[in-house]
Amino acid sequence: MAVLVEHEKRKKEILEKSLELFIEEGYEDVTFQKIADRCAITRTTLYIYFKNKREIFLWSIKQLTGGIEKSILKIMADESLNEIDCLKKIFSLICAECEKNARLFHVLLDYLLQLKKSEGNPRERVKRRVIRLEHLLTTVILRGQKKSLIRNLPVKEIDALLFSLIESALFKISVYGEQSLEDSRLLIEFTIDSLKTSQE
């Protein structure tokens, strides 16, 4: 059991140090050897944990999104929040994470553009990464509709609308290089408020 714990701890350290390296140098300039050097291990040891740079990058992103998901689950479990406030808090968290990890989103944009050149459609890759988040939002929206706090609109369309606002925020961060998403926050809050029923 101790060996497994040590293995997972080492893997987590590799992912954290790799993510720092990707942010510093960009996806294209990072090599497997640079990752091994940053982690103070040999390439052979690194191959025990990961088969290539791309796998490391994707696992690093997964680790980040996993942390965001845990925070969202805590917000959802907070019984002092109604569903409207829950949605606002979730999207405020997402905006804060986007601002905090702005440089990472520059790297992610480069990665997705390379993916598009080599494989065609990066949309499917992104969709797979956010499907759990979509499910969590759907849960909050349905809960709000059941309590008559959120208007009885098609949930899929509400999800799509809210996600398009996050995509817009990510575009501002990764393409325009904006540091603050205050405008996006206000727009998201306005949109969430427009979902309220008169009862809320």
Q: Express each pLDDT in 125-149 by its tens digit.
A: 667 767 888 899 999 999 999 999 9
Structure-model confidence comparison of residues 127 and 41, the more confident one:
41
- The pLDDT value given to residue 120: 66
Answer for the pair 173, 102: CB distance below 8 angstroms, yes or no: yes
Domains of the chain: 58-193 (1.10.357)
Q: How confident is the model at residue 118 (pLDDT cuts 50, 70, 90)?
A: confident
Query: Taking residues 50-64, what's their average pLDDT?
Result: 86
Confidence of residue 89 (pLDDT cuts 50, 70, 90): very high
> Between these two residues, 196 and 2, which has the higher pLDDT value?
196
pTM of the model: 0.82
